[in-house]
Amino acid sequence: MVHILSVKKNIDDGDDIKRVFFHRKQYFIVQYEDDKFVSYELMFSEDMKTLILFDNVNEYFRLGFQYDDSKQELMLSGILSDRYVSISAKKESLLELPLFDNKVTWTFD
């Protein structure tokens, strides 16, 4: 199972983050507005208030997180890939993504 969160508010000094994904096999995946994807191995701190993310060269980043149950909103903030990010995100349905459309979607680089 993959949990997809659509980014509602994004404050950082680099590329905008479009979505974040929590993969069941302990991965955190970031999709940027240009549809570039970056994945990180995911761990949680002992107090369950910090995501610890490992990139492919074994550097790690810490993102504080809070979940507001009443708004069903996840807030993440901290240093990611050498820049500060602060995002709030809401759950998105897999069925609403282009993968599940009955039409062909093409992308070009």
- Number of Cβ atoms within 10 Å of the Cβ of 75: 17
Domains of the chain as residue ranges with CATH:
2-100 (2.40.128.20)
Please tell me the distance from the alpha carbon of residue 77 to that of residue 50, in angstroms, as a whole number: 9
State residue 13's pLDDT score.
47
Per DSSP bridges, beta strands 37-44 and 17-23 are unpaired
Query: Do 20 and 7 form a contact (C-beta atoms < 8 A)?
Result: yes
Report the Cα–Cα distance between both ends of the chain, in Å, rounded. Answer: 28
pLDDT in tens, 22-79: 888 899 999 888 889 999 999 999 998 999 999 988 899 999 989 888 888 888 999 8
For residue 85, what pLDDT is reported? 87
Count the neighbouring beta carbons within 10 Å of the beta carbon of residue 54: 16
- The structure's pTM equals 0.73
